[in-house]
Chain A
Amino acid sequence: MVMHHPSVDFLTAHAAGILPVAQSACVSAHLTYCEKCRRSNAQLQAIGGVFFEQLAPTPVSESVLDNVLARLDEPEPLHFADTASVARAEDSLPGVLRRIINGDFSQLVWKKVTRSLSISHLNTGDTHYEFALYRIGAGGRIPEHDHGGSEMTLVLEGGFSDGQGTYHPGDFVYRKNTDIHAPVAIDGEDCICLAVLDAPLKFTGWQYRWMNPFLQLRAG
Chain B
Amino acid sequence: MVEQRTDKGGEARATAWSVPTGRRTDEWSESLVLIGKHRDRAAFTRFFRHFAPLIKSFALAGSSLSASHADELVQEVMLKVWQKAEGFNPEKAAASTWVYTIARNCRTDMFRRLQKFDTPLAADDLNIDVEEEEPFAVLHTRRGSDRVRELMGDLPPDQAQILAKVYMEGKSHSEAAAELDLPLGTVKSRVRLAIQKLQVQMDRQ
Chain A residues at the B interface, C-beta cutoff of 8 Å: 5-9, 11-14, 16-18, 21, 24-25, 28, 31-32, 35-36, 38-40, 42-53, 55-61, 64-65, 67-69, 71-72, 74, 76, 79-81, 84-85, 88, 94-96, 99-100, 102, 123-127
Bits for B114-138, please: 1 = Cβ < 8 Å to A, else 0. 0001111111111111111010010
Cβ-defined contact, B172 with A39, below 8 A:
no
Decide: B192 and A46 in contact? CB cutoff 8 A: no
Known: A39-B140, A47-B148, A68-B75. A32 touches B128 (CB 8 A): yes
The smallest C-beta distance from B120 to any residue of chain A, in angstroms, reads: 6
Residues of B142-172 whose CB lies within 8 A of A:
142, 144-149, 152, 163-164, 166-168, 170-172
B136 to chain A, nearest CB (A): 10
Query: Min CB distance, A185 to chain B, in Å?
Result: 24
A residues near B104, Cβ cutoff 8 Å: 16-17, 48
Q: Say yes or no: is B19 at the interface (Cβ < 8 Å to chain A).
A: no
- A17-B108, A32-B130, A42-B145 are contacts. A49–B120 as well, Cβ < 8 Å? no
Known: A35-B137, A40-B200, A43-B201. A13 touches B128 (CB 8 A): no
Residue among B61, B71, B130, B166 having the largest count of chain A Cβ atoms under 10 Å = B130
A142: min CB distance to chain B, Å: 23
The minimal Cβ–Cβ distance linking A176 to chain B, given in whole angstroms, is: 12
Q: Which residues on the B side are within 8 Å of A125 (C-beta)?
A: 117-121
Closest B residue by C-beta to A63: B71
Q: Among B83, B94, B131, B142, point to the contact of A85 (Cβ < 8 A).
A: B131
Q: How far is the CA of A80 from the CA of B118 in the complex (A)?
A: 17
Q: Which residues of B contact A32 (CB under 8 A)?
A: 128, 130
Contacts of A43 in B (CB 8 A): 141, 144-145, 147-148, 198, 200-201
18 contacts between A and B (CB under 8 A): A8-B202, A8-B204, A14-B126, A17-B105, A21-B121, A24-B126, A28-B127, A35-B132, A42-B141, A43-B141, A47-B198, A48-B101, A49-B98, A55-B61, A58-B56, A68-B48, A76-B83, A127-B117
B17 sits at the interface (CB 8 A):
no
Most chain B beta carbons < 10 A, residue from A21, A48, A69, A94: A48
User: A149 → chain B, closest Cβ, in Å?
Assistant: 15
Q: Find chain A residues with CB under 8 A from B120 CB.
A: 99-100, 102, 123-125
Give Cα A114 to B131, complex, Å.
40
Which has the most chain B C-beta neighbours within 10 Å: A18, A95, A102, A124?
A18
- Known contacts A13-B172, A16-B167; is-contact A69 B41 (Cβ 8 Å): yes
Residues of B within 8 A of A47 (CB): 148, 152, 163, 167, 198
Say whether A52 contacts B96, CB under 8 Å. Answer: yes
Contacts of A39 in B (CB 8 A): 137, 140-141, 144, 201
- If A18-B171, A55-B61 touch, whether A44 touches B45 (CB-CB below 8 Å) is no
Contact with A along B27-60 (1 / 0, CB 8 A): 0000000000000010011001100111011101
List of B residues within 8 angstroms of A31 by Cβ: 130
**Contact (Cβ within 8 A) B204 A7:** yes
